[in-house]
Amino acid sequence: MCTWISKKIEVVKQDDRGTIYNIEGIDVVVWKKGSKSSEHSHDTKEIIYVVKGKMRLTVNDEEKIINESETITVPEKIQRTVEALEDMIIIEKR
Please state whether beta strands 62-67 and 26-31 pair in parallel, antiparallel, or not at all (unpaired): unpaired
Q: What is the pLDDT of residues 77-90, one digit of tens each?
A: 999 999 999 999 99
Residue 67 CB: number of other CB atoms within 10 A? 11
pLDDT tens column, 47-61: 999 999 999 999 988
Query: Per-residue pLDDT averaged across 16-40, rounded?
Result: 96
Please, what CATH class does the domain formed by 10-93 belong to?
Answer: mainly beta
At 58-76, the pLDDT tens digits run: 998 899 999 999 999 999 9
Residue 51 pLDDT: 98
pLDDT for the residue numbered 17: 97
* 60 backbone dihedrals φ, ψ, rounded to 5°: 50, 50
Task: Identify the pLDDT of residue 1.
Answer: 67
